[in-house]
Amino acid sequence: MVEVFIVTSGLAVFLIMALLYTGSGWRLEDGKLQIKGNPGSPEIVELDKTRIALVESTGSWQATLRTGGIGLPGFSAGRFRFENGKKALYFRHLGSSHEVVLEFDGRYYVLLYPGVEDLYRELIARGAQPAKL
């Protein structure tokens, strides 16, 4: 009986966490980037006030510790600490050799998924400023 309760409780927690992160990702709209990596409302990044870099995913912006969020094989979202000691809102779907790092209003955001290089070019075309981050 105890085993059934433990398994059922574990499955319920997993289901609730999965539902909280449904819709995670990013969306471009009217010169702004909306990033949803936590439950609740997405964070809004104004591109004309944003510094951006395309970096190697195995470099100093490699995620090392999840401080809030979810981490599953092929998907991670939430607050993470990185190799360089910085904290950022992180969204990863599958993998890529590169990731986009954004800095807006003193906060960092990291996006990683196949094709992220195209997003980097699009964000610069929409006003983000290339920088070393």
> pLDDT tens, 69-118?
888 888 888 899 999 999 999 989 898 999 999 999 999 999 999 999 99
pLDDT for res 100: 96
Q: Which helix (H) or strand (E) holds 123?
A: helix 116-125
Q: What is the pLDDT of residue 1?
A: 74
Range with lowest mean pLDDT among 38-47, 48-57, 112-121: 38-47
Parallel/antiparallel/unpaired status of strands 129-130 and 50-56: parallel
Residue 42's pLDDT is: 80
Distance of CA 112 to the CA centre of its chain: 7
Kind plus residue range of the DSSP H or E element containing 36: strand 32-36
- In the structure, what pLDDT confidence band is assigned to residue 43 with cuts at 50, 70 and 90? confident
Predicted TM-score (pTM) of the model is 0.81
Q: Mean pLDDT lowest for which of 11-20, 49-58, 83-92, 97-106? A: 11-20
Q: How far apart are CA 62 and CA 36, in angstroms?
A: 19
